[in-house]
Structure 1
Amino acid sequence: MTALALRSLRKRAGAFTASFLALFLGATILMGFASMLDTASGTSGSAHETLVTMASVVGGWGLLLVVFAVTSTLTLSVRQRSAEMALLKSIGATPAQLTRMITGEAAGLAVVAALLAIGPAVLAGRGLLALLHDTGQVPADVSHAFGPIAVSMGVGITFVSAVGAALLTARRLARGRIADTLADTGTGRLTKKRIAFAGLFFAVAMSEVVVTVTVMKDEGSGAMATSGQADIFAALGLALLAPAIVRRVAAVLAGPLRRFGGAAGDLAVTGMLRRTNSMAAAVTPVILFTGIAVGTLYLQSTDNAAAAASGIAKTPEEKNIETLNFVVIGMVVLFTAIMLVNTLVAATAHRRREFGQTRLVGATPRQVMHTVAVESTVQTVIGVACGSVASLFTIVPFSLVRVDSPVPEGEVWTYVAVVALAAVLTGATVATATRRTLRTPAIEAVSA
C-alpha cells in the first residue's frame, strides 16, 4: 500500500494540490514564526522578550489556525475519494491497507510541502524581524537566525497534523460498508468527538472572557492578552459545528428558495442538504476570517480610543502589542483568504460529475451558475454570521474593561469592509471555478 500511495501521489498530482497548498502555507507560517526563537537565542533583555513573545503568542495563534486548516482540507480531500475507497474495498483491500495508503499519501505530501516551505519561511522570518527593527522593538544589529527550532517545529507539526487528519478520516471511510461509502454525501451529523472538541473550544473562549472582565479588569491594554484569543477559540468551536449549522439553515431556507428561486433555488436546496459536509468545509475559512479579523480590528481601535481619551502616550510595551495585533490581522487575512480560495476551488472542481449529470437532465449552464451563486450566498451569510458571533467573545469583554461599554470603539465601515472582502473572495472564487468546470462537455464530465 505504501507503493500504491507513492504512485497515487505521482499520477494524481492535481487532486492533491489543495492539500499540498494548505500544508505548504502552514509550514511556512509555522517556521517563519518559530525562527524568532532561533533568533532570540543570541539576544537578551527586552529584545529577547519581544522575539519570544512574537513566536509564542502570534505563532501560537497561527499554530491553531494552521492545524485546523490542514485538518479541514485533508478531511475534505479524503472524503472526496469515497468512490475510490469503495472500489478498492470491492476488489479485496482491507480497512488497514486503505488506512495505510491514505496516511502514506498524507505523510509523503507533508514532508515534501514542509521541505519546500523552508525557503519562503526564511523570507517570512526576515520580514517579521524587519518589522520589529522598523518599530524599534528589536535593535537593528540583531540578525535573523533560521535553525533547528524552526525546522523541527515546522516539519514536525506539519507531519503530525497531516497524518493525524488523514488517519481519522481514512479509518471512518475504510471501515464502512461499500454501499455506505458510495452513498457518503455528508448529511451534517456531528460525531461525539467533534461535539466534544467544539465544547472544549467554547469553554476555553468563555474562560478567557471571564478572566478578562475579572482578573484583567484594571490592567488596561494588558487585557488584550486574554480577550484577544477568545474569538479564535470561539471561531474554531463554531467551525466544528458548521455541518449542523449549515444543515439547519438549509432546512429553514428550503421553502423560500424553492418558492421564489425557481429551478436554481430548488437545485441549491437539494445540493445543500445532500452535501452538507462539503459546504461546511467552505464555510469554515469564512468563519475564521470574519471572527478573527473583526475581533482583532475592533480590539485595537477600542484600545486606541481608550488611550487617546486618557491623554497618556502609549508605552513601548503597548506599541509592541499593537504591532502584534496588526501582524495577526495580516496573517489571518492572508492565510484564511488563501485557504478560502483553496477550499472552494477544490470543492467546486470535485463537482464536475454532478454538474454534468445536472446538465444532462435538462439544466442549462446558466441555471447551474445560478444554483452555485445561491449556494455561495448562503455560505457567505452563514460564515459571516458565525464569525460575527465569535468576534463578540473578544470585543464585548475588552470594551467593558477599557471603555465601560459592551459596544466597541471604531467605525462601522471596518465591519463592512471585512464582510465585503469575505463576500468578494467567496463569490469570485466559486464563479470562476464553476465556469472553468462547466467548460467540460457534460458527457465527458459524467464519464470521467
Structure 2
Amino acid sequence: MRAGIAAQALRAHRWAFVGPASTQLVAAVVLSATLTVQVSVDGAPELSEMLTAFALIAVYLTILLVGVTMNAAIAQQARDVALLRAVGATPGRIRRAVAVEAAVVAVPAGIAGYLLGLLAGWAWLGTLVDHGLAPAGARFTPEPLLLAPILGILVVTSTVGALIAAVRPARARPAIALADAATRRPRFTAVRLGLGLLLVAGGVTLSVSIADLAADAADDAALFVMLALCVGVGLLGPFVLRSAIAVGRPLLALAGGTGRLAADNVAVLSRALSGALVPLVLAVAFAAVKVAVHSTTTHVTGRTGPAAEAWLDYSGTAVYCLFAAVAAVNTLATVVVGRRRDLALLGLAGATRGRVLAVVVCEAGIVTVTGLVLAAGVAGVTLVPMVHTALGTWTPYVPPSTLAAGVLATAAVVAAGTVLPAALLTRRPPIGQVG
C-alpha cells in the first residue's frame, strides 16, 4: 500500500518534486566530477589533497541542500497526509511512503548526475592541466564504483529531509493537520527556536575561536561556521521574516495594497520560505567570504597570490554557489507552485495578471533584502576572525563593483524562483488553476 501511496503522491505533486530532482542532479554532478578528477590525479599529492577538501565540502552541501529541497516538496503534501490519516493510515505507514517517494526521485537523478559528472570532470581535468595544477600527463579515469556512494548520499539525505518534513503531519490528529494545511499557520515551536539559537550561538563561538588558529586551520573551520549559522538562520526563519516585515512595513505601505498584501503573504508563508533562506544565505555568504579573503589580501599587502591557485579557489566557489543557488531557486519555486490556487483566486477576485505579479515582485523583494542582510551577517561573523588571523586587520575589503554584482545576482536568483514561476502559472485562466 505504501508504494501505491507514494506513486499517487508523485503523480499528484510531480511539479513539487522537480525542485528536489534538480538539486539532486546538480549534487550528483558535483560529487561525480570532484571524486573522478581526484582519482585521475592520484599522483599529485597537493592537488589530490585539495580535491579531497572540495569533495568533503560537496558532501556537506549535498546533505544540507538536498534535505532542504526534499523537505519543501514533502511539506506541499501536508493536506494529503492529513486526509490519509483521517481514513486510517498510521504514522508509520505515512513515513514509509514518504521514504519511498524520496528514494524514487533520488535514484534516477543520481544516475543521470553521475553520467553528466563524468563529462564535467573530463572538462575540469583539462582546465587543471592547462593552468599547471595537474600533471601534464594526467588522464581522465572514470570510476564506476563511485556511483554507489553517490547514490547512497543522495538517497539518505533525501529520505532524511522527507521524513523530517513528514514528522508533524504524520503524527498530528487529522483535524488539526487539515486545519494547519488549510490556514498555513506558521507554527514556531520552542524546539525549533532552541535549535536555531543553539546553532547560531555555536557558529559565533566557533568563529571567535578561529582567531586563535593558524591561517590554514581558520580557513578550513570557516565552512563549519557558515553551515552552523545558515542552518540556524533557516530554523529561525519564520521569526526573522516576520521581524523583517514588521521593520519594513512602512516602506511596503508606499506600494499601497500591493505592498500590504505582499507583507501579509510572506508572514503567512514564513515557515515555507525559511527553507529557501538556508541555500540563499549560504550561496551569498560563501561567495562573499571567498572573494573578500582574496580582495582583502591584495588590499592590505598590495600583492596577489598565485593566479592558478586563485583560479582553482574561485572555480570551486562558483560551483558550490551555483549548487546552493539552484537549491534556493527550486525551494522558492516549490513554494510558488504550491500557491497556484491562491494566485488564481486573486485573478478571480478581479486582480489583473500584472497586479498579481506585482505582489509576487514585492514578496521577492522582501526575501531578497532579508537574505542579503542575513548573508552579510554570516559573512561578517566568518570573515572578521579569518582576516585578523591571516592579515592582522579587523576590516575585510570588498570592491564596490563586486558588492553591486552580488546584490544583482541575489535578486536574480530570488526572481527566478518566485517571479518566473508565478508568471508562467498566471498565463493560464484562473478558473482552470482553481479547478
TM-score (norm 2): 0.90
Q: Which runs of 5+ in 2 are unaligned?
A: none
Q: 1:116 offset after TM fit, Å?
A: 1.6
After alignment, is 15-24 or 328-337 more displaced?
328-337
Q: What is the Cα-based RMSD across aligned positions, in Å?
A: 2.6
Which digits, 9 at most, give the CA deviation of each residue in 1:158-188, with x for residues without a partner? 1100111111221221111223222331515
Residue 6 of structure 1: aligned partner: 7
Residue 235 of structure 1: aligned partner: 230
Residue 25 of structure 2: aligned partner: 24
Give 3-state SS (helix, strand or coil) of 2:70's partner.
helix
TM-aligned CA distance change 1:206 to 1:411, over 3 Å: same
Residue 40 of structure 2: aligned partner: 39
CA distance in 2, matches of 1:205, 1:122: 38
CA distance in 1, matches of 2:422, 2:187: 24
Residue 370 of structure 2: aligned partner: 382
Match of residue 47, structure 2, among 39, 47, 50: 50
Give 3-state SS (helix, strand or coil) of 2:136's partner.
coil
TM-score (norm 1): 0.87
Residue 274 of structure 2: aligned partner: 280
Q: 1:319 offset after TM fit, Å?
A: 6.0
| Aligned residues between the structures | 431
**Percent identity over paired residues:** 25
CA distance in 1, matches of 2:415, 2:13: 28
Residue 212 of structure 2: aligned partner: 214
1:235–1:292 CA contact under 8 A, matched in 2: no
Match of residue 430, structure 1, among 418, 424, 429: 418
Tell me, yes or no, if structure 1 residue 70 matches structure 2 residue 58. no
Residue 326 of structure 2: aligned partner: 338
Residue 295 of structure 1: aligned partner: 289
TM-aligned CA distance change 1:378 to 1:6, over 3 Å: same
- Structure 2 counterparts to residues 389-408 of structure 1, below 5 A: 389-408=377-396
Match of residue 409, structure 2, among 421, 432, 440: 421
After alignment, is 193-202 or 366-375 more displaced?
193-202
Q: 1:354 offset after TM fit, Å?
A: 0.7
Residue 252 of structure 1: aligned partner: 247
CA distance in 2, matches of 1:48, 1:169: 42
TM-aligned CA distance change 1:215 to 1:435, over 3 Å: closer
Tell me, yes or no, if structure 1 residue 139 matches structure 2 residue 142. no
Amino acid at match of 1:49: E
After alignment, is 129-138 or 70-79 more displaced?
129-138
After alignment, is 184-193 or 410-419 more displaced?
184-193
Give 3-state SS (helix, strand or coil) of 1:183's partner.
helix
TM-aligned CA distance change 1:18 to 1:32, over 3 Å: same
CA distance in 1, matches of 2:328, 2:218: 31
CA distance in 2, matches of 1:137, 1:77: 41
Residue 257 of structure 2: aligned partner: 263
TM-aligned CA distance change 1:418 to 1:98, over 3 Å: same
- Structure 2 counterparts to residues 152-171 of structure 1, below 5 A: 152-171=148-167
After alignment, is 21-30 or 259-268 more displaced?
259-268
After alignment, is 2-11 or 369-378 more displaced?
2-11
Give 3-state SS (helix, strand or coil) of 1:439's partner.
coil
TM-aligned CA distance change 1:198 to 1:73, over 3 Å: farther
1:54–1:324 CA contact under 8 A, matched in 2: no
TM-aligned CA distance change 1:52 to 1:156, over 3 Å: farther
2:203–2:228 CA contact under 8 A, matched in 1: yes
TM-aligned CA distance change 1:135 to 1:232, over 3 Å: farther
Amino acid at match of 2:205: M
Residue 329 of structure 1: aligned partner: 317
Which digits, 9 at most, give the CA deviation of each residue in 1:221-257, with x for residues without a partner? 7753444653344333323322221122223334553
Q: 1:410 offset after TM fit, Å?
A: 4.0
Q: 1:121 offset after TM fit, Å?
A: 1.3
CA distance in 1, matches of 2:260, 2:196: 34
Q: 1:436 offset after TM fit, Å?
A: 1.4
Residue 123 of structure 1: aligned partner: 119
Give 3-state SS (helix, strand or coil) of 2:357's partner.
helix
Give 3-state SS (helix, strand or coil) of 2:329's partner.
helix
Which digits, 9 at most, give the CA deviation of each residue in 1:298-341, with x for residues without a partner? 112223445545xxx85xxx667534421232113321232233
2:387–2:394 CA contact under 8 A, matched in 1: yes
